[in-house]
Amino acid sequence: MNLVVLMGRLVRDPETKDANGTQLCKFSIAVDRVKGEADFFNCTAFNKTAEFIGKHFVKGQRILISGRIQNSTYTKKDGSKGYSTDIIVNNAEFADSKKDVQLTEDEFISAAADEGLPFFE
C-alpha cells in the first residue's frame, strides 16, 4: 500500500494552472523533524483538490495532506538522468486554527519567523 500523510508549512505560494483541461497545483512543504531540522517535499494535486489548495493556502501556512509517493525519472539538460520523488495529493486540510488563518500576511510571517522556520530567514 502506498499511502502518505504529512503536515507541514508551504515553502512558497502554490502554483495553479490548467493543463489541457485538468487543474494542476504544485507546491512544496517543509515538514519538521527533531532538533529544528526539516524535510522538504514537492507536492502535486489535481482537479478539485488543486483548486482548493490554490484558493485557500499561501506561503507559510500549515497544511495537512494525504496521498501517495511517486518516483519519476527525467532527462536533464546535459543529457543525464534525473530522479524525483513527489507526493501526489488526494486530500488537503487546514492545519492552522481559524485565528491563525485570519492573521495578516505580515503578522503570519512574523509569527512563523519567531518559530524559527528556515524559509523565513
Interval 68-85: pLDDT, tens: 999 999 999 999 999 999
**Averaged confidence pLDDT in the chain:** 86
Cα angle 92, 93, 99 (rounded to 5 degrees) comes to 150
**Interior angle at CA 111, CA 87 and CA 91, nearest 5:** 25
* 76: DSSP letter: -
pLDDT band at residue 51 under the 50/70/90 scheme: very high
pTM of this prediction? Answer: 0.75
Sorted by where each starts, the structural domains of the chain and their CATH numbers stand as 4-120 (2.40.50.140)
The per-residue pLDDT for 88 is 97
Question: Coil, strand, or helix at residue 74?
Answer: strand
